[in-house]
Amino acid sequence: MLIIKDLHASVEGKEILRGINLTINAGEVHAIMGPNGSGKSTLANVLAGNTNYEVTKGEVTFNGKDLLSMTADVRAKEGLFLSFQYPVEIPGVSMINFLKTAVNESRKYHQLKELSAGDFLKVMREKKEMVQIDSQLTNRSVNEGFSGGEKKKNEIFQMAMLEPKLAILDETDSGLDIDALRIVANGVNLLKRAENATIVVTHYQRLLDYIVPDFVHVLYKGQIVKSAGKELVLELEEKGYDWIKKELGE
Amino acid sequence: MTETTTFESAEQRILQLFLEKEALLNEEASDFLRNNREQSMAVFQRLGIPSRKVENYKYTDLTKIFAQERYNRAFHPTSFEFDMQEVFTCDVPEFDTHILFHVNGWYFEQNKTDLFPKGTIIKSMKRALKENTDLVEKYYGKQADAANDPLASLNGAFAQDGVFIYIPDHVVIEKPIQIINLLRSEEDLYVTQRNLVIVGKNAQIKLMFCDHTLAVHSYIANYLTEVFLGEDSVADVYGIQNQHNGTAYFNGLYVHQERNSQLITNTISLHGGITRNHLQVDLQGEHANASLFGLTLTDKDQHSDIFTSIVHGQPGCHSNQIFKNVLDDNSTGVFTGRIHVMPGAKKTEAYQRNNSVLMTKAAKMNTKPQLVIDNDDVKCSHGATVGQINEEALFYLQTRGINEKEARLMLMFAFAHEVLTNIRVEQLRQSIDRLVNKRLRGEVSRCHDCKLECIR
């Protein structure tokens, strides 16, 4: 589904990603872990098409297509979704108008008929129940005045509405209390299908107790320095990241 | 062979024109009006066309506009050989209003005014000046003349017609009165329009001014409206400007408010060449309340100047101002907001905000709050921001599959929307929402169905 080859990226002239190689197949859950500043969020943003990051080398194919040549909105329409670490508040843009536009833009792209207002509201009701988001939130402006937990739930709600092939969850657990974390993780698990995949970017293991990964990668100084199964999560929890640094001879 | 060139100033030229036409202007006029006209001209001659050295006109140079213009003046009503309703239909569906047309500043005599409650007077200013001398002498010029403004005095000197509205005490006019001001001619034209609105005690009115151009010629429009709000009265004054780029539009709104009166204004500028809105409110009764809103959308080389002046003359009054600008291409904008709290005006609350979004590097906004507070028992605030579209929000929308163009529009519309939520006539609000959306999309947002093609 996603093949990343020797990906280099920099921001304001400073190289952050220094040769990432990663292959993700349908049905898989990958965790990307690593200490602060290792490049986890940069990778998520580069994949989503944030133009503040400059790709200097490498290639990424997404379902056989060149991902890096697509604008952010086309990547989304092709089925890539980024759950933001810090979801943006957009006063004046109503949740309903925002989601309706997003869903229908994608449907148009795939030459499907746009959803009628009635059908859209029906779908929205179903998904709201699925991810247990407060009904009132969808009557407000996008993320405006939402609590930290509400913002993260809203990300998962949007994911449910857009049904992406590949979801990248960037530090979705940061700042979440344990109840909200369970709800968010539960939402992600309910949305899991054999034909889609998930990348969970996180600093801690806690989220991975709920969203169990098939593969775990450690990102350090802009490179994947270790890949293993879910047992690596426990090892990292016990020993921290320092033993990896030692292994690397630092 | 010798050639003589006379270098006359715009002021001299205007005075010359005034002296030539004084007899025509004063045809059937009362001593009161003659006097007012002469005084207005004297004030104008003293003030002159304001250059950028005049503080209130610092960012709008009128000398350029007046130096070259040799436009004809609309000294006589334009004659019509067609049905107005057929030529111009306001395209607001099921929008039920009392419609009053003006063409080139002249009240359209076929306007229907038979449906108003007893005691209400709605007629041409020209007729009111003759027939309602008691009301005219009590109110005409009282607000505008005191302003000592060059455009207001120029209006006073040349004013011939407009609309006169008198709502008696306790009368509520439920349907909005829609005043449609059309500019239509076979040549470039200078137009003066003078309106007077008197709202009695506990009376209510909703006014909607729609300013349009219906021909490709260049125009200078000097419009002035005075509004007097009696005790406990309520007035909504909405203005929608949709004129072509060859229009210089000067619009003065001068409001006097008595005790407990409530005013809402919303000045929506969709399209125009050079625009200046002068909004002045005198809160001269306790607990009077004025809310002024405005949205200005400019592009190409358009220029918009909003000047507000709110005087808190009595205790316990409340004023609130929110003005927003979206500036594209090389367009320029000005907001000057003056609040003057007088020594006796205890418990004043006065708020003011101007937010602007610049869509390009070439667009420019000048914003200037001026607060004069002469007592210490007040709550006052002012704020001004000039910025670009929030790039983070733009990226966020794009990651949800919304293309950049659409995402920008959503953000611009969201920015503008706050002003529009304050329109209290539901159908009007929806219609303006739609117009603003179309305008931001760069589609010609004509808010009327017109058979004359004149957008340029």
Mean pLDDT of A171-199: 90
Residues of A in contact with B400 (CB under 8 A): 73, 76, 98, 102, 158, 162
Distance, in Å, from the CA atom of B172 to the CA atom of B174, rounded to the nearest integer, reads: 6
- The closest alpha carbon to B156, from B246, B45, B259, B261, belongs to B45
Question: b/e map of B12-50 (b: 16 or more CB within 10 Å)?
Answer: eebbeebeeebeebeeebeeebeebbeebbebbbebbbb
CA of A209 vs chain B CAs: smallest distance (Å): 28
- Among A85, A93, A107, which would you mutate to test the B interface (most chain B Cβ atoms within 10 Å of its Cβ)? A93
Rounding to the nearest 10 degrees, give the CA dihedral for residues A109, A111, A116, A120.
Answer: -50
Chain B residues with a Cβ under 8 Å from any Cβ in chain A: 390, 392-393, 395-404, 406-407, 410-411, 413-415, 417-418
**Are B393 and A88 in contact (CB < 8 Å)?**
yes
- Which residues, 6+ apart, have CB-to-CB distance to B443 below 8 Å? none
Separation in Å, CA of B388 to nearest CA in chain A: 14
The residue among B262, B377, B271 whose CA lies nearest residue B316 is B377
Report the residue of chain B nearest A158, measured CA to CA.
B400
Q: Are B382 and A74 in contact (CB under 8 A)?
A: no
Question: Rounded to a whole number, what is the distance in Å from the CA of B358 to chain A's nearest CA?
Answer: 18
Q: How many CA atoms lie within 13 A of B374 on its CB side?
A: 12
Residue of A nearest to B401 (CA): A73
Asked if A72 lies within 8 A of B392 by C-beta distance, the reply is no
Taking CA atoms, B319 is separated from B101, B262, B426, in Å, by 31, 10, 23
Work out how many CB contacts closer than 8 A connect A with B.
77
Structure tokens belonging to residue B281:
């409110």
pLDDT tens-digit profile of A11-62?
998 999 999 999 999 999 999 998 888 999 999 999 999 999 999 999 999 9
Closest alpha carbon to A183 in A150, A161, A158, A205 = A150
Beta strands of B172-288 (E only): which ranges? 177-183, 189-199, 204-213, 219-229, 234-242, 247-257, 262-271, 274-283
In whole angstroms, what is the distance from residue B144 CA to residue B152 CA?
6
Q: Mutation target for B interface from A67, A88, A94, A151: give the one with most B CBs within 10 A.
A: A88
* A151 CB within 8 Å of a chain B CB: no
* Contacts A48 to B, Cβ<8 Å: 399
Q: Which two tokens stand for residue A43?
A: 């990778």
Q: Do B414 and A87 touch (CB under 8 A)?
A: no
| Closest in A91, A98, A105 to B403, CB measured | A105
For the stretch A144-179, pLDDT in tens is 999 888 999 999 999 999 999 999 999 988 888 888
pLDDT attached to residue A173: 87
pLDDT in tens, chain B (456 residues): 455 455 689 999 999 999 999 999 998 889 999 999 999 999 999 999 999 999 999 999 999 999 888 899 999 998 766 666 666 666 555 568 888 999 999 999 888 888 899 999 999 999 999 999 999 999 999 999 888 999 999 999 999 999 999 999 999 999 999 999 999 888 999 999 999 999 999 999 999 999 998 888 899 999 999 999 999 999 999 999 999 899 999 999 999 999 999 999 999 999 999 999 999 999 999 999 999 999 999 999 999 999 999 999 999 999 999 999 999 999 999 999 999 999 999 999 999 999 999 999 999 999 999 999 999 999 999 999 999 989 999 999 999 999 999 999 999 999 998 899 999 988 888 888 888 888 888 776 555 555 444 443
- Separation of CA B435 from chain center: 18
CB contact under 8 A, A93 and B404: no
**What is the CATH topology of the domain spanning A2-247?**
Rossmann fold (3.40.50)
Q: Where are the domains of chain A?
A: 2-247
Q: What is the pLDDT of residue B456?
A: 35
Three-state SS at A101? helix
The tokens for B91 are 């395209």
pLDDT tens, residue by residue, A54-76:
999 999 999 999 999 999 999 99
Beta bridge pairs of residue A218:
A33, A226
Q: How far is CA B359 from CA A22, A160, B241, B390, B441, in A?
A: 39, 34, 21, 11, 13
Rounded to the nearest angstrom, the gap between the alpha carbon of residue B345 and the centroid of all alpha carbons in its chain is 27
> Is B410 within 8 Å of A97 when comparing Cβ atoms?
yes
Candidates B402, B410, B418; nearest CB to A73 = B402
- Which of B394, B396, B406, B411 has the highest number of chain A CBs within 10 A, making it the mutation to test binding with A? B396
Cα(A159)–Cα(A155) distance, integer angstroms: 6
> In sequence order, what are the beta bridge partners of A122?
none
Is A58 in the B-facing interface, judged by CB distances under 8 Å? no
A81 touches chain B (CB under 8 A): yes
Is A112 at the interface with chain B, CB within 8 A?
no
- The minimal CB distance from A72 to the residues B398, B406, B415 is found for B398
Comparing alpha-carbon positions, the chain A residue that sits nearest to B404 is A73
Of A73, A98, A158, the CB nearest to B403: A73
pLDDT value at position B449?
54
The CA distance from B290 to B114, in Å, is 31
Give residue A218's pLDDT.
92
**Other beta carbons less than 10 A from residue A27's beta carbon:** 14
CB-based contact, A75 to chain B, within 8 Å: yes
Task: Compute the distance between CA of residue B290 and CA of residue B274 in angstroms, rounded to an integer.
Answer: 27
Hey, are the CB atoms on B410 and A93 less than 8 Å from each other? yes
Neighboring chain A residues of B408 at a CB cutoff of 8 Å: none
Q: Enter the tokens of residue A145.
A: 């005045």
Mean pLDDT of A121-143: 89
Q: Encoding tokens for residue A50?
A: 């944030």
Mutation target among B326, B355, B400 for the A interface, most CBs of A within 10 A: B400
Q: Which residues of chain B are within 8 Å of residue A105 when distances are taken between CB atoms?
A: 401-403, 406
Contact criterion met (CB < 8 Å) for A73 and B399:
yes
Cα A10 → chain centroid: 20
Report angle CA B310, B312, B315 to the nearest 5 degrees.
Answer: 155
C-beta separation of B229 from B197 below 8 A? no
